[in-house]
Amino acid sequence: MIGTIFSVLLALFLYFTPPPFQLVLSPDMINITMIVVATAMLFALLLTYIGSYSPLLKAEYKLSSRLLEMFSHDRHVKFTTSSLIIFSLLTYVLAMTTLPGDVVDPTLVFCVWVVLFGFTLDRMRSLIGRILCYLNPFEVVEMFTSRAEISIREEHEVDLCHGIDGLAEISVKSVQVLSSSLSKHVIDELENITDKFLSTAKSIVFEIQDAQSKKAGITDRVNYTLSFIFQRLEMIFNSAVEVKNEPLCAHIITVMGKIIISATKYDITIASFPLHYLGKFSKHAMDNQMFDVGERASCTLLEVAKITVKLKFFLLAILIQILKKPFLLKTKHLL
């Protein structure tokens, strides 16, 4: 924006300055300047891509194997790159074309080019900033989340699963390097995605099968997506158990409780699905001597029961089945 504003002010100055004070350049000098600027812009664009390739590869290795795929489909990057190339090509055409002075004012054309040059400089700065976002793990998480939310709105089931898969991979790798804050952020985003998906699924216009799901052979998008999310949460939970990260395991238990409530609001029949995974997570944690996680699961289930009762849903029978085995394991440990 700064480049555009400065270029507009400069163009106005050049166009409205009285002749005695006007900057006078020969047409040949102006054309050479334009060609040099266009060439420098293309060269800077090439250097930007070459210089960012290695850092992006490292980020892909540390975060998610879908990072470069997302970068290659980034509309912002495509638009910015296209703007820079079009500006350079247009500059070459203007510099090599002799415009009749009685038809087109050369000063006006040059002033318009100055404004476009300022806009292009802002696009270059925007491109560099966008590439730097791919090197920031939290920004990458936001990008994957945004991609998943767009897929929900546009009903692209396969793209949604790709976004969820990318988030899960980031979380698993962050657990392995003991980065709990990043992993918690990913888990929260997965919960938000699940809630938005179920909210969208309640819409009248929601289709059980979209074009992508039909092609992939998916007959029920809701059950398939929930299963996909729970499997990824299970991967994260198992990784956290391996490194004995109890706070993260407890956080996943809490998130599962929120998902249970969202699922219950959507359809009571699918509430047993997340409940099964919650009981599975609790048992796995207690088998690995993480009894605080088991206590968190019990408290979470009780809170879920209170909320669902207020919503006039009956989950007592399911809760008894889920609570029974962890409770017996816990009692046996205390004895």
Model confidence, pTM: 0.76
294 in Cβ contact with 326 (< 8 Å):
yes
95 neighbors 34 (Cβ within 8 angstroms): yes
**Residue 260 in tokens:** 């249970």
User: What is the rounded CA–CA span in Å between residue 252 and residue 262?
Assistant: 15
Question: Assign residue 261 a region: left if phi > 0, alpha if psi is -120 to 50, beta otherwise?
Answer: alpha
Dihedral of the CA atoms 19, 21, 26, 32 (nearest 10)?
-130
> How many CB atoms are located within 10 Å of the residue 285 CB?
25
CB atoms near residue 201 (< 10 Å): 17
- Max intra-chain CA distance, the chain: 101
Q: Cβ(259)–Cβ(303) under 8 Å?
A: no
Tokens 């998906």, residue located: 197
Q: Nearest-CA neighbor of 294 among 259, 314, 322? A: 322
Query: Are 173 and 66 within 8 A, CB to CB?
Result: no
pLDDT digit string (tens) for the chain, length 335 residues: 777 777 777 777 766 775 544 555 566 777 788 888 888 888 988 998 898 888 888 888 888 888 888 888 888 888 889 888 888 888 888 777 765 554 566 677 777 878 888 888 888 888 898 999 999 999 999 999 998 888 888 878 788 888 899 999 999 998 888 788 899 999 999 999 988 888 887 765 555 556 666 665 666 778 888 888 999 999 999 999 888 888 899 999 989 888 888 888 777 777 778 888 888 888 888 888 888 888 888 888 877 777 766 655 454 455 555 555 555 455 444 44
Both tokens of residue 197? Answer: 């998906």
* Residue type (1 letter), 162: H
Cα distance between residue 161 and residue 190, in whole Å: 11
* pLDDT value, residue 119: 86
For the chain, what is the radius of gyration of the CA atoms? Answer: 29
The 3-state secondary structure of 280-302 reads HHHHHHHHCCCHHHHHHHHHHHH
Q: Characterize 100-117 residue by residue with b for buried, 16 or more Cβ atoms within 10 angstroms of its Cβ, and e for exposed.
A: eeeeeeebeebbebbbbb
The 10 Å CB-count burial string (b at 16+, else e) for 138-162 is: eebbebbbebbbebbeebbbebbbb
Torsions phi, psi of 97, nearest 5?
-110, 130
Q: Are 193 and 164 in contact (CB under 8 A)?
A: yes
